Structure 1
Amino acid sequence: MFNILLVEDDISLADWVCEYLSEQGFNVSHVARGDLVMDVIKRNSTDIVLLDVMLPGLNGIEVCRLIRQNKQSQATPIIMLTARADEFDEVIGLEAGADDYVIKPVRPRALLARINRQLSQSNKAESNLNSELVFGDLTINQEAKRVVYQDKEVELSTSLFTFLTYLAQHAGSVVDRDSVFKALKKREYDGQDRRFDVMLSTLRKLFNDDPQKPQKFKTIWGKGYLFVSDAWQEKPSLDNEE
């Protein structure tokens, strides 16, 4: 049985979400304040977090960042619940480490589909038998869901890890947005969803890839994304050359 942590201060909404998900076979815990989340996560096993954006005590974006900074929960899938449908919430939430978001009013079956998708992706990454991808100073251990770059571990959300792994598995080849959406979201690209553009930007920041002149992660205009396989070896210093 999967354990879900619902963080929502709207009690009526929280009650029916807890009831509905319990009927679907999940074990659901609920807290109504953002500043209580980390204590619950540290005490209990949590497989996925449903996190409202507007919360008393600590807002959802800050809670999301704290979850990602904690080693115990850094790979736990997070689905944000937001009453605002504008791009600002989407971009900020994804950059903070959220894996997906649902716009209120929440539809039960749609929420269940998002939860099952995240749990499926998480389990698939854990069970992948091709355990390591190595490119110069970068090592991606798919079985352990661990990324090491220049001898330092890089903490990634489940969605970022899955996206990075997918790009690395297709190293040297341009992957179009529609292929990425079909592989990772099980649907076609609608021409507007920018989540993977945001994730690519986040990966560039994490791996010190100049967004103006990227060498590791390239966006090929009109085609898609390119993971450059030979850009991960640190170049030798020229200081000692005569």
Structure 2
Amino acid sequence: MSAQLLMIEDDSRLAHMVGEYLGQSGFTVTECATAQAGLTHLQNPPSGTAPELVILDLMLPDMDGLEVCRRIRAAQGDMAQIPVLMLTAKGDPLDRIIGLELGADDYLPKPFEPRELLARIRAILRRRVEGAPVANKLLRFGSLEIDRDARAVTVAGQLCDLTAYQFDLLVALAERAGRVLSRDQIMEAVRGRELEAFDRSIDVHMGRIRAAIEADPKNPKRIVTVRGAGYVFAKQQD
């Protein structure tokens, strides 16, 4: 059975082109031209099965794509966990940063190559399916526990709110605890292949992860910034 994708995009010509291209690669794409139609589809999918990924345009006629992303992440149940790949025609990096802060898993600026869109979709879905190729599925660092199988993170028994991409970033760092990783190395670890990187996006995600797992996000003890080099996950924790 092909993977089900939802594309929320008001440019019908672009949506049709993308749908045809992704269809040739085994995906089934449902197109929604408005934010409300997309949210309704996510809340009550006609097939009874939610899509595996949402391709979300930033500029929609009835609602800002950022607000759509916020509503997806604020939803109850499985809908909140659906990966979101945001499309933006705006050149201002701030829009991408805000999208990532709201929980988007990745972004792609317009105009884009369909092959890159396909590569990013496959990378996101692969991260969700494969998991970490190691025997120990549970990582423990003091009160912090990372369960690879359940794709869940808890601190002192309390579940942390992380997107799929943020979970993968945390795992990539935790598996290499004590080792300083550059932004490029971190992105390579979670993508599985080298794609054009927007370095600031890593900083945004790290801020969100710290907010979820650190006692004091402004003075982090678990994920430490190494100026001019990148990040390191501390081996010794509470």
Q: Greater shift after overlay, 81-90 or 58-67?
A: 58-67
Matched residues in 2 for 1:100 and 1:178: separation? 15
Per the TM alignment, residue 94 of structure 1 is displaced from its structure 2 partner at its CA by 0.8
Q: Deviations over 1:89-129 (max 9, x none)?
A: 12111111111111112321121111111111221228765
What is the aligned partner in structure 1 of residue 57 from structure 2? 52
One-letter amino acid of the counterpart of residue 206, structure 2: L
Q: Deviations over 1:210-229 (max 9, x none)?
A: 45422221101122211123
Larger Cα-atom Rg: 1
RMSD over aligned CA atoms reads: 2.1
Q: 1:134 aligns with which of 132, 135, 140?
A: 140
| 1:128–1:72 distance in 2 versus 1, CA, 3 Å | farther
One-letter amino acid of the counterpart of residue 143, structure 1: D
Per the TM alignment, residue 74 of structure 1 is displaced from its structure 2 partner at its CA by 2.9
Q: Matches of residues 214-233 of structure 1 in structure 2 within 5 Å?
A: 214-231=220-237, 233=238
Gaps of 5+ in 2: none
Normalising by the residue count of structure 2, what TM-score does the alignment of the two structures yield?
0.88
Matched residues in 1 for 2:112 and 2:234: separation? 40
Q: Deviations over 1:145-172 (max 9, x none)?
A: 1111222211211110000111111122
What is the aligned partner in structure 2 of residue 193 from structure 1? 199
Q: Deviations over 1:174-208 (max 9, x none)?
A: 22223213222322786x62221111111122234
What is the aligned partner in structure 1 of residue 19 from structure 2? 18
Q: 1:88 aligns with which of 75, 81, 94?
A: 94
Contact 1:21 1:28 in 2 (8 A): yes
| 1:174–1:114 distance in 2 versus 1, CA, 3 Å | same
Matched residues in 2 for 1:162 and 1:22: separation? 27
Normalising by the residue count of structure 1, what TM-score does the alignment of the two structures yield?
0.87
What is the aligned partner in structure 2 of residue 31 from structure 1? 32
Task: Name segments (4+ residues, structure 1) moved above 6 Å.
Answer: none
For these two proteins, the number of residue pairs brought into alignment is: 231
Q: Secondary structure at the match of 1:175?
A: coil
Gaps of 5+ in 1: 234-242
